Structure 1
Amino acid sequence: MLRKSLYCALLGLLVSSAAQAADLKIGFVNVARLLEKAPQAERAKKELEREFSPRDKKLVAEQKSIKAMEERLTKDASIMSQSERDKLDRDLLNRKREAKRAQDEFREDFNLRRNEELTQLQKEIFEAIQTLAKEESFDLLLTDGVVYASEGIDVTSKVESKLETGFKGSKK
C-alpha cells in the first residue's frame, strides 16, 4: 500500500512538472552573428579604421623606406667607402629598431581600442537581449554552448532589430 501511494505521488509530481515545463518560453540568441552583423559593430570597425589608418600608413611608408635603404646598400655596397657602408648599416639598423618599436606600439594600442569597442558592443547586445526577454516574457534565453536551436526559438533577428533601433536612436 505504501509502495502504491509513493508511486502515485511520484507520478503526480512528474505530470505536474511536465505541465509546468510546457508553459516555459525558451529562446536562443546567436551572439556571434550579432557581433558580426549589428550596426554598432560596423560603426566600431569604421571608427577603428579612421583612428588607426594614419598610423598604419606611416608604418607602411617606413617599411618601404627601409626596404629601399636595404636595396641601395646591397646594390651600391661595392662602390661605397667602408665608412659610408658602416654609416648606412647603422642608420638601417636604427630605423629597423624604431620601426619594430612603432609597430609593437601600434599593435598594442589597436588591440586595446578594439577590446574597448568589443566590450561596449557586448554590453549593448546583452542589454538588447535582456530587454527582449522582458518585453516578450521569456523564461529562458540561451546563447553560447547550444548545439541545436530550431528556427522557432531563434530570436537573434529580434535582438538584431532592437540593436538597429538603438543604433538609430543613438545617432540622433
Structure 2
Amino acid sequence: MPHAKVGRTTSAAACLLLGLWLAAPLAHAQEHIAAVNSDRILRESAPAKVAMARIEQEFAKRKADIDNGTAKLRALSEKMDRDGASMSDAERSKQQLLLSQMDLDLQRKRREFGEDFNQRRNEELQSVLDRANRAIRQIAEQNKYDLIVQEAVYVNPRIDITDKVLKLLATSGN
C-alpha cells in the first residue's frame, strides 16, 4: 500500500510540473500581446484630422449651397403663410408648386451630398487605417509583439498601445 501512495504523489507532482512547463510559454506569450483602439485612431490621429478637414473643405461649397437653399425655402414658406390668404387661387397654386419643387430639389441635393460625403469619408478613413496598420506593424516588429488585436470587447490598459500608434502617426509619414 505505501507504494500506491508514493506513486500517486509522484504522478501528481509530475502532472504539476508538466502543467507549469506547458503554462510557461502561455505566460510568456501574454507579455507580447497588445491591443489598439481603431476608433480612437480614426478620431484622434493627425492623419484622420487632416483627412476630415480636407473633406470638409472639399464639400463646403455644396453644404453652403444646401444651407442657402434651405434658408430660401424657409423664407418663401413663411411668406406664403403670411400672404397666402390675400393671394389669388392661381398665384397661391403657383407658389405652392414652386415650394414643392424647391423642397424636392433640396431633398435630392441633401441625399446626394450625404452619399458623396460618406463615400469620400470612407475612402479617406480607409487610407488612415492603412497608414495605422503600417505603424502598428512597425511597432510590433520593434517591440517583438506576437499578436496585436484591433477590436476587442475589453482591453486591459496595460496592453493598449493606441497612444504609441497615435504618436508614431503624428511624427512619421506612415
Q: How far apart in 2 are the matches of 1:63 and 1:29?
A: 42
Residues 135-168 of structure 1, C-alpha deviations (whole Å, 9 max, x = no match) = 11012223322424143x32222111221123xx
Corresponding residue for 2:23?
A: 18
Instruction: Give the superposition deviation at 1:79.
Output: 2.4
Q: How far apart in 1 are the matches of 2:157 and 2:75?
A: 58
- Most deviating of 5-14 and 49-58: 5-14
TM-score scaled by length of structure 2? 0.84
Corresponding residue for 2:47?
A: 40
Corresponding residue for 1:164?
A: 170
Q: How far apart in 2 are the matches of 1:109 and 1:148?
A: 35
Corresponding residue for 1:155?
A: 161
Decide which of 136, 141, 155 is 1:134's aligned counterpart.
Answer: 141
TM-score scaled by length of structure 1? 0.85
* Matching of residues 74-93 of structure 1 within 5 Å: 74-93=81-100
Q: Is the 8 A contact 2:35 2:155 kept in 1?
A: no
Q: How far apart in 1 are the matches of 2:100 and 2:155?
A: 56
Q: How far apart in 1 are the matches of 2:137 and 2:120?
A: 26
CA gap of 1:17–1:146, structure 2 versus 1, over 3 A, is farther
Aligned partner of residue 160 in structure 2, secondary structure: coil
Q: How far apart in 1 are the matches of 2:153 and 2:89?
A: 68
Q: How far apart in 2 are the matches of 1:4 and 1:143?
A: 45
- Most deviating of 129-138 and 14-23: 14-23
Count matched residues: 167
Query: Which structure's CA Rg is the greater one?
Result: 2
Q: How far apart in 2 are the matches of 1:146 and 1:73?
A: 55
Instruction: Give the superposition deviation at 1:7.
Output: 4.7
Structure 2: gaps of 5 or more residues = none
Q: How far apart in 1 are the matches of 2:103 and 2:56?
A: 25
Structure 1: gaps of 5 or more residues = none
Instruction: Give the superposition deviation at 1:102.
Output: 0.9
Corresponding residue for 2:66?
A: 59
- Most deviating of 42-51 and 117-126: 117-126
Decide which of 98, 101, 106 is 1:94's aligned counterpart.
Answer: 101
Q: Percent identity?
A: 32
Aligned partner of residue 144 in structure 1, secondary structure: coil
Aligned partner of residue 169 in structure 2, secondary structure: helix
RMSD between aligned residues = 2.1
CA gap of 1:146–1:98, structure 2 versus 1, over 3 A, is closer
CA gap of 1:71–1:150, structure 2 versus 1, over 3 A, is closer
Q: How far apart in 2 are the matches of 1:143 and 1:10?
A: 36
